[in-house]
Structure 1
Amino acid sequence: MSNLHGDINDDEIRIISSGKVKTEKKKSKLLPVILWVVVSMLLIVFLCIVFFSSIEIEDERLYEEVMEQPIISATSVENTNNVKSPAFTIKTDTIVSGIGLSFLTPNNATPVLEIGNEVLDDSSIVLIAQAADIRGDNGGIVGSFVVKGELVSKGEAKAGFCSIINGDVTVGVADATPMFEQALMSNGYFFRQYPLVVGGQIVENKPKGKSIRKALVELNGKISVVVSRERLTFHDFSQVLTDVGVSNAIYLVGGDAYVRCVDAGGSSFTFGREWDKEIDNVNFIVWR
């Protein structure tokens, strides 16, 4: 017969609260561990906040110190120390379409025009070439010629021109060009010569004979003096200049006219010969 009132018989055994006791013991053991983990995590978070806050403050301090220092550009440093890279000429000998050419390209040098053979004694020159032609009748310079803004000669017998304004050389072809007025107004330089190449195209000229040819050319954005290693007509010289990629070119005094350059190692190379020192209007384009 079942016991409805929860009583037990003599032959029955009841285990009282054994599961409850075990549960309470487990909970009492886990509680300190949980508290220790929570406190440790809070401590770690606090230390991280303090650490990264100190880094930000230090970075701000360093940034402020750097910004307080003056900023000096490379140009400013160079001007402050009065240091200038040495001037020299890059001499490149090449063969184009079977014709030998010498390209003389000034580097770190300033261009000007000068009159008179006295300039040949200047040791600071790294490239010099005769520029404008001289009249056979009166010894005057052919075409317009400007030196330091002063008009030395006037005329437009030749369409090719070279202007030097604020140290920048421009080679072009035009019967009338504003570069002439700019040279007069800015203490610049200007002279005229036969045109050889304009916009990469040949310009035909009347003289048909052969001679050692020289030119002032624009190639890949740089100005060079070019000397042929053999006698050529104007047409053949213009053709070989276009073959090598010259965009603009005007003639320089050819034949045995004087050209000299000095390379980076101090070696000097001379083409042609010096003219009679009694000729007053011998003129040169010069780089120092």
Structure 2
Amino acid sequence: MNGMLAPEVLVLGASGRVGSGVVAALLEAGSPVLAVARDAARLQRLAAMHADEPGLEVMVASVADDGAAQDLARRIARRPRPLRAVVDATAGVRRASRLLDQAVPVLSASLEQEVLPHLAAARHLLPLLQQRGGDRYLVAGGPHARCGWAGYGHASVAIAATRMLVQVLHEEAQPLGVRVQMLSIDAPVWTAENTARACPGWHSALGVGRAMVSLLARSSPDARCIVTYADNAGTMPPGLLGREFASVLDAASGAPGASDAGRAA
């Protein structure tokens, strides 16, 4: 294939609960993944879990502010692989407390930790995504964005603000040819590490990850800005990205019968 590389999916917050599920689901579907997180130790544990996956690369970086996100975009721009999509699975620290029991600056800090990294990432990665041939930008939404989360008032307000941010980005990114969407997750997420304390109704990280993959793999993209996660969306979609990447690369290389194969897929 003349040395061409399959496009990769960038996962921000890859070592977190949702992020780790997205990474696993993408690898399961045959997609190369660039996993980004700011905690080097957790990122190495993620890499060790998928040590037999040649399609996984990890990068220690942050999108905590404009400067950090700009530096990340510059590093990705130097990579040889095309960029197919971005999945933003970053999340702020969520501590139990009542709004009325805390000083006003506590809410300001929650907004800064939860919302601003999403904006910093979008400002620098959306233009890069367009330049490198990608067209999907997904954000993982936290629980209780529309109804208050009992005992987590600061998180509820910040998550609701993130939901509005995505709605604005959805409109503003249309001229770039990039579809920005949020997968709204209405309950906390469990992984192998927190299974013992998980409650009924929590969603599995892998199930959420598979739902993200389904959004990325649809040949006719879902037009909605906010897509609500449902448990049945977490089943493994057949074929998906591996087949899609193969047909795209075959067509690009001029392989005989490639156009017919692409239509059949």
TM-score, structure 2 as length reference = 0.23
Compare CA radii of gyration and give the structure with the larger one. 1
TM-score, structure 1 as length reference = 0.21
Compare the two structures and name the one with the higher helix fraction: 2
